């Protein structure tokens, strides 16, 4: 399903129609959407859905809310500079690219001189989430700007959360992606162990995806408000002690198997060393 801005007043501009940007913009397609990309093909596709292709960034700058989904800091800086020079006071420019938090903060400072607000709003969920309109958005913005963007962002996102001031969205994305890619490295280590043990990797992958969908995967333990050690009377302590006991046992067994098979498992050894502290339990006995 697509969402247009016909009759809703403010127009939406979208810059960057790649693997993520094109499906995001597609869910906004209609006469109120103006799009721009250096490649004519993606613009033509969205024009068939009712969007207006822009000849340059100056045309996009006429929109009230503009989303930027380009590759890196250099491209964000280039696009933002062109938009700031042409946009009107009151415009909101949202940066969805994964960049340095300092880039968003600096651009927000430059934008204030023009009466324009910068919002850093990186997304999580990949092309699959973009295609289904179920992305998660981490928004760094003033309270006022967040109130203005959360409904439009909801056209292509399933979760829109205010993380704090400008820069907070990007910092949240970097923390989220740290978990993402460290988990990939851990998955590769688990596959090496499974392969050495003669386990079909495809079937193991199916088990992991199925069980993580049920339990929540690594995110299941992200329920504390601080990473400080848990107080003795904290209601989460019993839960985390149980997790630690299971982890200590299962990691020890996995490392025993790895030693038997001659498989190097450095991430598992590091996890064994740091699990208790990571759960807020310090080095105390799990019992």
**pLDDT for res 282:** 80
**pLDDT for res 6:** 38
The pair of structure tokens assigned to 167 is: 């820069």
Q: How far apart are CA 21 and CA 130, in angstroms?
A: 8
Looking at the annotation, which residues are catalytic?
173
- The pTM of this model reads 0.90
Write the CA distances from 73 to 69, 79, 137, integer angstroms: 11, 10, 19
What average pLDDT score do residues 193-212 get?
97
The pair of structure tokens assigned to 88 is: 């009107």
Domains annotated on the chain, with CATH: 12-172 (3.40.50.720), 223-287 (1.10.1040.10)
**Which residues contact residue 214 at a Cβ distance below 8 angstroms, ignoring those fewer than 6 apart?**
none
156 band by pLDDT with thresholds 50, 70 and 90:
very high
**pLDDT for res 270:** 97
pLDDT tops 90 at residue 58: yes
């Amino acid at each position: 399903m697509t969402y247009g801005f016909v009759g809703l007043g403010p127009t939406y501009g979208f810059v960057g129609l790649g693997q993520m940007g094109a499906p995001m913009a597609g869910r906004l397609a209609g006469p109120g959407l103006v799009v721009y990309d250096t490649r004519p093909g993606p613009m033509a596709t969205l024009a068939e859905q009712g969007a207006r292709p822009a000849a340059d960034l100056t045309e996009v700058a006429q929109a009230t809310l503009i989303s930027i989904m380009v590759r890196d800091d250099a491209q964000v800086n280039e696009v933002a500079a062109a938009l700031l020079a042409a946009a009107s006071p009151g415009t909101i420019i949202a940066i969805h690219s994964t960049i340095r938090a300092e880039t968003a903060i600096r651009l927000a400072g430059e934008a204030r001189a023009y009466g324009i607000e910068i919002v850093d709003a990186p997304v999580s969920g990949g092309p699959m989430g973009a295609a289904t309109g179920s992305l998660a958005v981490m928004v760094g913005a003033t309270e006022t700007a967040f109130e203005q963007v959360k409904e439009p962002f909801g056209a292509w996102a399933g979760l829109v959360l205010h993380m704090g001031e400008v820069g907070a969205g990007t910092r949240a994305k970097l923390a989220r992606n740290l978990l993402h890619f460290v988990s990939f490295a851990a998955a590769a280590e688990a596959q090496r162990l499974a392969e050495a043990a003669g386990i079909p990797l495809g079937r193991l992958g199916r088990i992991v995806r199925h069980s993580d969908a049920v339990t929540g995967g690594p995110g299941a333990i992200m329920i504390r408000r601080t990473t400080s050690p848990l107080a003795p009377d904290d209601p989460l302590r019993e839960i985390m002690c149980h997790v630690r006991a299971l982890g200590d046992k299962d990691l020890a067994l996995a490392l025993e198997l790895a030693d038997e098979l001659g498989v190097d498992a450095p991430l598992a050894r590091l996890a064994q060393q740091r699990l208790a502290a990571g759960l807020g339990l310090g080095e105390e006995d799990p019992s």
